[in-house]
Chains A and B, each alone.
Chain A
């Protein structure tokens, strides 16, 4: 287990897994901060009309949480130089005062030299209800020298 990125970071290192709880209030707050006011992220009525099981989290919020998970390991957001995901499954956030829990884990899948320094590629797994919600999620982290 690797607590943080450093000069010794190598392929196969695992990031300490964490879980993040997302509530309806978090979705409203993210809507305001991001400017994404699509009602499927706050209205059960609209979510139902388009065939969703309920209000779902913004995909970009789930991606941001993956970014934050990597950033904490990387030693700060400025070290995260790349982030890519496929949105494979929605995260349904019930209005029950508890919300949804997203489980995050990650593994260093490679370390390469670049003009800017050593860059680690991290394969991130994000799960909700035991199932993956981000496909092929990877991050590029500039390692401290």
Chain B
């Protein structure tokens, strides 16, 4: 049984995720992104960035684990094993780059139940070490509803 009182709740911010240069490079190569600003710090600096730039979907690689640890909490009552990622939106308020320390705050925006499925909307606000907004990631997740 999903805890419906979660809707409207804001979870505590995660410990900061440290964006590493090699992690960005590894991620870029895994998606076939060959732009030198992702791979070479000198090229990134020459283009006016403080360090190598993360591809836009890199943010989800550290946001999803935060979502997972929330939804695997038995108190939440979410069937994680049958979960499907239905929608994802990413808004970058600025590019993410190596050296960033990014904390994620999950907001439970919506929960709908119909035709045997729960549809949960989570808005994850990502902020840097100064508290400035860096990204807003909205995920819509679907799983089986156990209640009648």
User: How many interface residues does chain B have, given as a range?
Assistant: 35 or more
Taking each of A61, A63, A77, which has the highest tally of chain B beta carbons within 10 Å of its own beta carbon?
A77
CB proximity to B under 8 Å, residues A76-123: 76-78, 80-87
Task: Write the nearest CB–CB distance from A78 to chain B, whole angstroms.
Answer: 4
Q: Please, which residue of chain A has its CB at the minimum distance from the CB of B93?
A: A81
B91: contacting residue among A29, A72, A76, A82, CB under 8 A: A82
Inter-chain contacts of A29 with B (CB < 8 A):
29-30
How long is the Cα–Cα vector from A20 to B56 in the complex, in angstroms? 18
What CA separation (Å) do A140 and B85 show in the bound complex? Answer: 22
Q: How large is the interface on A (under 10, 10 to 19, 20 to 34, 35 or more residues)?
A: 20 to 34
User: Is B31 a contact of A65 with CB atoms below 8 Å?
Assistant: yes
- Whether A81 pairs with B92 at a CB distance below 8 angstroms is yes
Contact sample, A vs B, 27 pairs, CB 8 Å cutoff: A20-B32, A29-B30, A32-B30, A33-B23, A33-B26, A34-B60, A34-B64, A35-B61, A35-B64, A50-B82, A60-B60, A60-B61, A64-B31, A65-B32, A67-B55, A68-B31, A68-B32, A76-B47, A77-B35, A77-B38, A78-B37, A78-B47, A82-B92, A84-B87, A85-B88, A86-B87, A87-B88
